[in-house]
Structure 1
């Protein structure tokens, strides 16, 4: 499988955003205020209202998304969303919490979990998130600009599950966040867990 750019018009929206506008080859997305993805854990609520632009993610493939935004409000977030159904999904990318930018992932199998690490130095830079599907797992990596890849998470996903993936963004606490997505590519999965793309 060769890496191939996904045409913005060929992917489908899960929960359309407030706005999605072309800026040259980029797509600038304004998410719906108050929308998010989460299931139960600790917070006690379920939200399945965030915006994600999805394309098929078969076994043996990887999706890579690059974006930039002014993340400055609690829970501002963007990255890659992988969805099987409303109870089985993963979101991976960056998010504002405790007053600074963090990189992390939420893995949901019935209920959500959450793992994060602070990356304040990534603020104001283009960020790329890569999710590679091989065997029974998703390997999640991210980087800032042309910096080194950082492995974020290894998450289980049945090889038989029909999955779709692509860019997502949410701003649960405010209106008007804009995320500029500059790249959406699907290509071959990484050769191994410890071999970066």
Structure 2
């Protein structure tokens, strides 16, 4: 399997975080309080000012890993942003809701929708998110070092060119949240919805 590990300096921030710094192979990011990605649905407001480090994304799969230990407050979140443009994007990762970590996916095409799946057993672990395009959709999966791949969403993402992907983090409700990203890379795409990708 071909894997390309991204250097943190290889990406471009579409919105700068409050701070970011490399520590060895890791990237520690502090998002600015009050910034997020969301469009209209339910709340009425529109945000596209969360911190996201992106690179060009073609027909590969993208994976982002991070440590979950610092996630404690409502809406603390991090994961992958799949970005086609200001009206078409998906953010997926872990988000604190109802006091526990949740696998979260927000799919946006002019309006946002939001799906959640509670994973309280993942507290304190290193989480990996993965997104892979197949036909006109993206398959989104997640795992930890102690829990295998879970398919959490199949969402429409029919854009053949002009896509970017990479790690994102937001902290809409509090200051001082810091996330430690441990890996960002591109690898071979999924071959089948019902076959787990390999773990390396």
Q: Does the TM-score normalized on the shorter chain lie above 0.5?
A: yes
CA distance in 1, matches of 2:31, 2:110: 25
1:155 aligns with 2:116: no
Q: TM-score, normalised by structure 2?
A: 0.95
Aligned residue in 1 for 2:100: 100
Give the length in aligned residue pairs.
Answer: 196
**Corresponding residue for residue 67 of structure 1:** 66
Q: Please give the per-residue CA displacement for 1:106-149, whole angstroms capped at 9, x wherever unaligned.
A: 00000000000111111111000000112211100001224210
- Mapped partners of 1:115, 1:97: distance in 2: 11
Q: What is the distance in 1 between the residues matched to 2:32 and 2:85?
A: 21
Contact kept, 8 Å, 1:61 with 1:134, in 2: the verdict is no
Matches within 5 A, 1:25-44: 25-44=25-44
Taking the aligned partners of 1:188 and 1:7, their CA distance within structure 2 comes to 18
Query: Counterparts in 2 of 1:1-197, with a 5 A limit?
Result: 2-58=2-58, 60-69=59-68, 70-197=70-197
Confirm or deny: 8 A CA contact 1:135 1:159 kept in the other structure: no
**3-state SS of paired residue (1:9):** helix
Cα distance in structure 2, aligned partners of 1:101 and 1:21: 25
Q: Which runs of structure 1 show a deviation greater than 2 angstroms over 4 or more consecutive aligned residues?
A: none
Whole-Å separation in 2 of the counterparts to 1:127 and 1:8: 18
Superposition CA RMSD, Å: 1.1
Structure 1 gaps of 5+ residues are none
Q: State the distance in 2 between where 1:176 and 1:167 align.
A: 18
